[in-house]
Structure 1
Amino acid sequence: MADLEPNWRVRFLAGQPPAIVRVRNLQTSIAGPSDAWNRKGRPQPLCVSASVMLKEAFDTSSSADKVESDTVHYGLLSKAILASLESQQQQQDAEKSGSAASTSQSSSLRDVVNTIWNDLTGQDRHGKSKATDEEPEVNTSFLKPSTIRCLELTVHLPKASLLGGGVSLTRIALFGRDGESRPQPRGMSLRIHDLRVPTLIGVNDNERKAKQVVVATIEIDKFNIDEDVFTMIEAEAVEVMSKSAFETLEALANTLAFRLASYLHSSQAGSMNRKGWPIKIALEKPIAVVLADAACVQLSVNSSEVLGGIQ
């Protein structure tokens, strides 16, 4: 099975689609993925965004002024996403109340994303269509891969961070030509949003006297790890930033990248990509420039390169 691609590369390969239908921040709740304290199965809010990039413009729908097969009904798309989440919750509740309660496990954030994707497209986590022996050519999924150029799906847990704006997982994939069964380029990225950590940072005399808030956003691409590890990644980042005494954001970003790469390679060696994990770190100082919202430094590295090629 082909390796995951970075999400930015899949977007690049998708190009500029002629038409897009989006649903943004569809809100509900779920009990399954880890919460901010790494507790499984606790109810928490969840937001889902889906962007369906079409292969052709919706000429028939626009000329007839009605939703035809050349577009996607965003209301029904929303209902399909909610139905998938409800089905997941019912299945998990049934497992907990049944005889397998002692061995059942709560779903991870990655499980949630993959199940919604499967229900929408009829494709499994590897991008293969789940055709049956009885009806190998029938696709009963809501979205028809023959009409889609690219699909991007993001599930965001806004309360799954102690110091930030939550955690999200984004899956994206291209869809091939009609009748093409080979899985297309696909990606998965984990994002920890807007960690606000008091940090000793800066070159000016006043900045050496007290900590100021630094806002960190961390994105790990080619994210092939099944379990929820975002609380541990957040803890690693917070520890580095809290103990910082650097003068520059550049030095802090480099140290943070090394720490996160070390954590991933030591704790997730069994899931390691052949070329490591692409890591992107953005650090902002909101009060550094008085007349600006923030000053920001961003670093993009590969975990294997950061560690000097150590696998």
Structure 2
Amino acid sequence: MADLEPNWRVRFLAGQPPAKVRVRNLQTSIEGPSDAWNRKGKQQPISVSASVMLKEAFDTSSSADRVAGDTVHYGLLSKAILASLEGKGPQHLANMEKPGDAASTNRFSSLRDVVNTIWEDLTNQDANGKSKATDDDEEEEQQVKSFLKVSTIRCFELTAHLPKASLLGGGVSLTRIALFGRDGESRPQPRGMSLKIHDLRVPTLIGVNGNERKAKQVVVATIEIDKFNIDEDVFTMIEAETVEVMSSSSFETLEALANTLAFRLASYLHSSQAGSMNRKGWPIKIALEKPIAVVLADAACVQLSVISSEVLGGI
């Protein structure tokens, strides 16, 4: 199976779709993934966003003024997502038919498990992009098993966001995206997965001016790790590493802080997740903002994008 691609590259390959249907921030609660203190099984809020990029424009639906097969019913899409989270999706019900399986309110082992479960219920394809239907299944039967008609989709993007899964930030999200084949092919081609820790607000000693050397100011950090192939929840540890580096900082520039932070995060990933490492490591994007640095601007920002193996000298 091919390696994951960076999410930005999958979006680039998808191009501008002729039509798109989206549901943004569908909210409910969930148990299973880690919370801000890395505790499992605690109830917490979750929001899910889905974007379905179609291969063709919805001409039939628009001309007939009704929802036809050339589009996606966003109301039913929302219901299908909620059903998956509640354990009523087709993949979960199929697993329940196995002897010895029992229902559980704590069905999800991680945030990645949440995203993959919703994806499988909507597309009938597993984490590697392979159809879960057997070779003996007819095409029509395969379509019945999934909510989305994959033969009509150019690209599908799914994001699950845990807004309270961070002690100092705006939560954690995981985004999965896949480009679907042309000419009737239903198996995704390039696919990606990225973890994002949103808006960590950390008091940091940073700046070149004399007043900035006298006291800490809030720096807002957003960390994104692409080609994220790690099954377990590691976002609390990544947050802890980030906060430690920023709290002990005495740099004058955001550029120096970003470089040090990149090295620290790359070291953590390579030491703790060596068994999951991609051939070229993980793409890491770090954005650092100083909200009060420029009085008449919302913030000044520096962004750094690196490959973890290159930061560590190609190991």
Q: TM-score range by the shorter chain?
A: over 0.9
Structure 1 residue runs of 5 or longer lacking an equivalent are none
Residue 66, structure 1, aligned to residue 66, structure 2: yes
Q: Which residue of 170, 178, 183 corresponds with 2:175?
A: 170
Q: CA deviation at 1:107?
A: 1.5
Q: Which whole-Å deviations, capped at 9, do the CAs of 1:225-267 have from their partners, x for residues lacking one?
A: 0000000000000000000000000000000000000000000
SS in 2 for 1:185: strand
Match of 1:57 in 2: 57
Q: CA deviation at 1:177?
A: 2.3
Q: Which residue of 233, 237, 257 corresponds with 1:232?
A: 237
Residue 118, structure 1, aligned to residue 120, structure 2: yes
Contact 1:128 1:181 in 2 (8 A): no
| Over 6 Å off, 4+ runs | 98-101
Residue 307, structure 1, aligned to residue 312, structure 2: yes
Q: Which whole-Å deviations, capped at 9, do the CAs of 1:102-148 have from their partners, x for residues lacking one?
A: xx985200000001000001110000111135525322200001110
Q: Distance in 2 between matches of 1:67 and 1:43?
A: 36
Superposed counterparts of 1:8-157, under 5 Å: 8-87=8-87, 106-132=108-134, 134-137=136-139, 138-139=141-142, 140=144, 141-157=146-162
Match of 1:191 in 2: 196
Q: Which residue of 190, 194, 218 corresponds with 1:213?
A: 218
Q: Distance in 1 between matches of 2:74 and 2:286?
A: 33
State the TM-score, normalized to the length of structure 2. 0.92
Q: Which whole-Å deviations, capped at 9, do the CAs of 1:81-119 have from their partners, x for residues lacking one?
A: 000000179x79x9xxx9999xx9852000000010000
Q: CA deviation at 1:180?
A: 2.5
Match of 1:294 in 2: 299
State the TM-score, normalized to the length of structure 1. 0.94
Q: Distance in 2 between matches of 1:38 and 1:283?
A: 24
SS in 2 for 1:66: coil
Structure 2 residue runs of 5 or longer lacking an equivalent are none
Q: CA deviation at 1:183?
A: 4.0
Length, aligned pairs only: 304
SS in 1 for 2:60: helix
Q: CA deviation at 1:219?
A: 0.1
Q: CA deviation at 1:182?
A: 5.1
Q: Distance in 1 between matches of 2:127 and 2:88?
A: 16
Residue 5, structure 1, aligned to residue 5, structure 2: yes
The 3 A distance-change label for structure 1 pair 129 and 135 is same
Q: Distance in 1 between matches of 2:64 and 2:187?
A: 35
Q: Distance in 1 between matches of 2:176 and 2:186?
A: 19
Q: Distance in 2 between matches of 1:147 and 1:63?
A: 18
Q: Distance in 1 between matches of 2:169 and 2:117?
A: 26
The 3 A distance-change label for structure 1 pair 186 and 26 is same
The 3 A distance-change label for structure 1 pair 146 and 106 is closer
SS in 2 for 1:29: strand
SS in 2 for 1:184: strand
SS in 2 for 1:153: strand
Q: Distance in 2 between matches of 1:99 and 1:144?
A: 29
SS in 2 for 1:270: helix
